Amino acid sequence: PLGNPTELEKIGTVICIGGGVGIAEIFPVARGFKQQKNSLITIIGARNKDLLILESELKEISDELLIATDDGSKGTKGFVTDILKDLLNKNEGLNSTNCLVFAVGPVLMMKKVSEVTKPKNIKTIVSLNPIMVDATGMCGACRVVVNNEVRFACVDGPEFDAHLIDFDKLIIRLESHKVAEHECKMKPKLTERKRS
């Protein structure tokens, strides 16, 4: 419920990409673009077929649904970016004037999507989920660098032009609490061990 609503408009072809739990987030976006009478290609991916969600719902609203799994248990063996690359190479008519890519998923996935579309100058929007604390634009926890400016995902985002995001800085920030997170996860186990 935070930030700005998705800008839905008629573009021509919209390629919606969801990775892991990002599939859940891409669903209302994909539906919205379809309602705007766009041709909708949806690409979803997960580590294996058991982790794929909303497949039938997305199939129903998409003109084409493509699937990638890391282990090949469903669809193409590989990543959503492999499918995207292939799709754009086969459809040279898709360009900056008639195509939009919208991706939600792990930061690394969104970075790779951006790397595929940037040379073709195809506008790409991603929805970021950096760590948030107050979610009112005051604490600065969710800051991201976009077009060399600091922006707050909770009020300025969560959607940004992927080609302008400093993904490397974002990845470093997301990693910065890993040790503390690990220690917190281990704490109950250590307590249990002490009790026994």
Rule CB under 6 A: which residues touch ligand FES?
132-135, 137-142, 152, 154
Residue 112 vs 151, nearer CB to ligand FES: 151
Residue 11 vs 132, nearer CB to ligand FES: 132
Closest distance to ligand FES from the beta carbon of 113 (Å): 24
Closest distance to ligand FES from the beta carbon of 153 (Å): 6
- Beta strands (DSSP E) in 7-82 are 13-19, 39-46, 64-69, 76-77
DSSP 68-107: EETTSSSSEES-HHHHHHHHHHH-TT--TTTEEEEEES-H
Distance from CA of residue 178 to its chain's centroid? 21
Closest distance to ligand FES from the beta carbon of 4 (Å): 13
Closest distance to ligand FES from the beta carbon of 135 (Å): 5
Residue 133 vs 190, nearer CB to ligand FES: 133
CA-CA distance, 21 to 16, in Å (whole number)?
Answer: 14
Number of Cβ within 10 Å of residue 49's Cβ equals 14
Residue 71 vs 181, nearer CB to ligand FES: 181
**Which amino acid appears at position 33 of this protein?**
F
